Structure 1
Amino acid sequence: MGISNYMGRRAKPTKGSKEQITVSDYMSRKLVTFTPSQNVMEVIQTLVKHKISGGPVVNDQNELVGIISEGDCIKQISDSRYHNLPMDDATVEKHMVRDVETIDGNMNIFDAANQFLSAKRRRFPIVEEGKLVGLISQKDILKAALNLKQQNWK
């Protein structure tokens, strides 16, 4: 008796299948953003209030100019306390990361997962036509994986 290698007819991919799942399907669009002139203490309060680990910094035209994280804020607190300096003049602009890596919203979610692994980032902003349109985090990738597990994984 021979082994059959017959593959039945394959259904077209549906929304949510791995072939079509993109970053824009899981990115956050309602973002907590910061401005370059904002005080770092205000950023800390916002991070704690919203239970987030960082966020994009945008100018008046909603163009991405940087990103600030818990680590950036902790560094400022540590430096300020160590040197006994006030934090009144500690602005986001002085402590944000300016060279920000972004991800394309049309990128496949699995490629984005690999991007997180290789870049060792916690979040990537998504920019379209120079404007910030969203943000994808590692947690968003995990949500996508859970949704996929319910659909395809056995």
Structure 2
Amino acid sequence: MAVINKIIDIQTHQGINIHNITPQIESVVASTSIQNGYVLVFSRHTTTALAVNEDEERLIQDIKVFLEKLAPLNDRYLHNDLHLRPNIPPDEPKNAHSHLMAMMLNNTEIIPIVDGKLGLGTYQSILFFELDGARKRTILCQVYGE
């Protein structure tokens, strides 16, 4: 069995934005000789997330509204009392809401590889969620198989 690690870089925007990263993951898999196995997709940040779902414009808007209801930006959060936290850099954002949203989602997805292709269903896409931004983000892809 082979294990191949690749990093995907993505530039995000401020606030909640959702990126379909399926083409990048397909490219990672295609760059390997793996025909059957899986790809583990891992978000390396505490205010981002991953999901397998439909990439449909109106659903994406519904997801954003849903997440904003779960953890409203303007609620009171202890994490945002920056003056009470030690060793805080001067550019630290007030982003407790982003951390809470990320906890409600996944930071990892595992997608099967079948005959050298992602084993996704008809309407499934791999979605990357920026819940804070704007930043350069990295996603680790670990392709495993034979």
Instruction: Normalising by structure 1, report the TM-score.
Output: 0.29
TM-score norm. by structure 2 comes to 0.30
Say which structure, 1 or 2, has more relative contact order (CA 8 Å, 6+ apart).
2
As a proportion of its length, which structure holds more helix?
1
Instruction: Select the structure that is richer in strand.
Output: 2
Larger Rg: 1
